[in-house]
Structure 1
Amino acid sequence: MRRVRPGAGAAASRGGVGGASGAAARAVGEGRALTSVAAGDRFEGEPEDLPRLWHVTLSVSGEEAPLAEVRRALEQLAHDHPFLLTSRYANDHAEIRYWEEARDLHDAAAVALRLWGEHRQTAGLPPWEIVGLEVIDRQTYHQRISEGYGPAPASPVGVHPF
């Protein structure tokens, strides 16, 4: 049995065996209900091109650095970019958590993957590499919190040792 998109018309009958199919024999528009949308009406779903909030957790690590320098660098990064919720650090690794506004996960992840490298010099960050990245949408973040698993809410906000 060959499936045909409704209203495909003559294109649906091309290559058919023994005549036109039922859908192709129907007049264009027959059997289909058309609806109109008034100007200014909104689509019921979430438009794909509008920015959404994404919760980002970026993990970095590398050779040991003095704790005071790591803290100062993370505080400078938070000062330069107030979107940072919290940073936790040790002398050989750190974790940064923040909300990113982006069109989709790919955009949010791309920004997160550039964050450490682009600000390493201006904030004096250690030359560590990114070893982990989690990007989840707002709904998933809140679902995890309400179910009792997932990262604890970022409080207190700021830069703290592990």
Structure 2
Amino acid sequence: MNSSLPFDDPALAAAAVRARRLLNRRAMVGAAASVVPVPGLDWLVDAALLSRLIPAISAEFGLSAEQVECLPQRKRDQVAQAVEVVGSMVIGKFITKDLVIRASAAVGRRMAIGRAARFVPLAGQALSAAIGYMAIRYLGEQHIRDCMQVCRQAGLRLPSSEPAPLLH
């Protein structure tokens, strides 16, 4: 799924590609965990995935809490204003369990259906994996779009050749 925002900045486009690559890998792990019929395991895996995925995506765009703190005050203010306009709960913040829960509430119903479906042999497990994958992808894609929008609104320019360090 590609962002509807135009890629007028090659560095921003490259960051989005790297973030989506990371997102796809993490969503596959979440899907695999959704298949296992152990109560609560999938929620734990999803929370762990999201608590690492969201900051890793933010880092690709120079928007992790640490990166934002290193910006000059004027640029930090611009980023804060852009974050407020976009309405993101997680950009430029340290990710806590509470933030992950609030961010995932947007897809909670889909995830709950997938959790219940996994107890139906084969077809239910496949449905559960698909729903788990889509839920993580949805949250990650939304975060990528938010990061891109914040970068544009704050006038944040990313280095064109240096990817941010990623957690794998």
Give the TM-score normalised by the residue count of structure 2: 0.31
Structure showing the higher helix proportion among its residues: 2
Q: Which has the higher contact order (CA 8 A, sep 6+)?
A: 2
